[in-house]
Structures are given as C-alpha cells and as structure tokens.
Amino acid sequence: MDLSNINFPTDLVFLWIAAITVGAAVLVCLLPNIIHSAVSLLFALGGVAGLYLFLSADFLAATQMLVYIGGIMMLLLFAVFLSNRIQDVKLSNPARFQLPAAVLCILLFGVLSLVAVTTPFPVKETKYLPTTATIGELLMTRYLLPFEIASVLLLAALIGAAMISRPTRKNPALDQEDGK
C-alpha cells in the first residue's frame, strides 16, 4: 500500500470503518462477557455494511443492516438472555485451547495476507453504479431457481425453528394411550 497518494476524506473514512470492523471482530473473540461480545459483533457487522458501500454494493449494505443487525443480532441477544443464568454472567463465555488457537489463527492470517498481497490480480477499472435494479432483474430472470429455493429454505427453517423451540407439552390423551 502506498501511503504517499492518500485521497484524504475517502481514505480516512475507509480506514476508520476498516479499523472499527477489525477491532470489533477482535473484541468478539477476546471479551470474556458474552453480552459484550454480542454488542461488539453488532459493530463488526455494521462495519461490514460500511465496507459494502465502498465496494459499490448499496443494496447489499442495506440488506446487511436489515437482516444481520435487525434480525440475527436480535436472535443472538434473545438466545443469550434466555439461555444464560444472568447471575453468573461473568463466567458466561469460557474459553479453552487459547494458545494453540491463537498461534494457528495468526499463522493463517499471515498466509492469507501474504497471498493477497503477492498475487497479481487482473484488476479492472472500478465504477460505482446503483445496483438495486440490476439485482432485482437478475433475481427474477437468471437466478430465479436459487431465489425460489432460498424462499423454500427460509420457510422450512421458520417452521423447523418454531417446532424445535416450542416447549414440550404434556398431552394427557397420549399418556393414557401409553399406559394401556
């Protein structure tokens, strides 16, 4: 990366968003309290939405904000609050194998960064265009089958999640039948 030709406001915003994203992701894996981890994950996902804007993916950034921050984060917080005894919240996020995992992850990060920096990618000239109309058209024409499969998958996941998380109901009629 060449530090001499910094395009000032754009690159400053980009660096700021990248720092928020990576810093929040590091905090997710290091914080001992799981609620702090969840809030940190919120900032990491929001930073990823900001990075999408720099990649001319405006619809994807909006989808990221709606689905991840509005939906998945709320689900995670629900699960944290419903599944952890609130009095031992300090001990809610125990960790193990920290040293070998840290060594492995740092080595993997080094290898991935090295490959990313040294590979000569055939980069084309970039352009920033609105994408929502194109994505909608493609979803209805070329990617129609994956779109329908995804909708069926969402329906199945909805029904399955509701069935699994429903409390088991004591059915006296079935109990009598079992007794016979």
Partner 1 sequence: MMTLQAFLIISAALFCCGLYTVMTRQNGVAVLMGVELILNAANINFVAFAHYLSHVMGGQIFAIFIIVIAAAESAVALAIFLRLYANTGSVEIDTADRLKG
Site for partner 1 in 94-153 (CB under 8 A): 94-98, 101-102, 104-106, 108-109, 112-113, 116-117, 121-124, 126-127, 131, 134-135, 138-139, 143, 146, 150, 153
Question: Counting contacts by CB under 8 A, is residue 16 touching partner 1?
Answer: no
Question: Counting contacts by CB under 8 A, is residue 83 touching partner 1?
Answer: yes
Looking at beta carbons only, is 22 or 174 nearer to partner 1?
22
Looking at beta carbons only, is 72 or 174 nearer to partner 1?
72
Joined tokens for residue 97: 């194998």
CB of 170: closest distance to partner 1 in angstroms? 14
> Under a CB-based contact definition with an 8 Å cutoff, are residues 24 and 47 in contact?
yes
Question: Counting contacts by CB under 8 A, is residue 25 touching partner 1?
Answer: yes
Looking at beta carbons only, is 1 or 173 nearer to partner 1?
1
CB atoms within 10 A of CB 51: 17
> Under a CB-based contact definition with an 8 Å cutoff, are residues 51 and 21 in contact?
yes
CB of 28: closest distance to partner 1 in angstroms? 6
DSSP assignment string, 23-78:
HHHHHHHH-SSHHHHHHHHHHHHHHHHHHHHHTT-HHHHHHIIIIIIIIIHHHHHH
Query: How far apart (Å, rounded) are the C-alpha atoms in residues 173 and 60?
Result: 51
- How many residues bind to partner 1 according to rule CB under 8 A? 86
CB of 87: closest distance to partner 1 in angstroms? 14
Question: Counting contacts by CB under 8 A, is residue 78 touching partner 1?
Answer: yes
Residue 54, amino acid? F
Residues 159-178 that bind partner 1 (CB under 8 A): 160-162, 164-165, 167
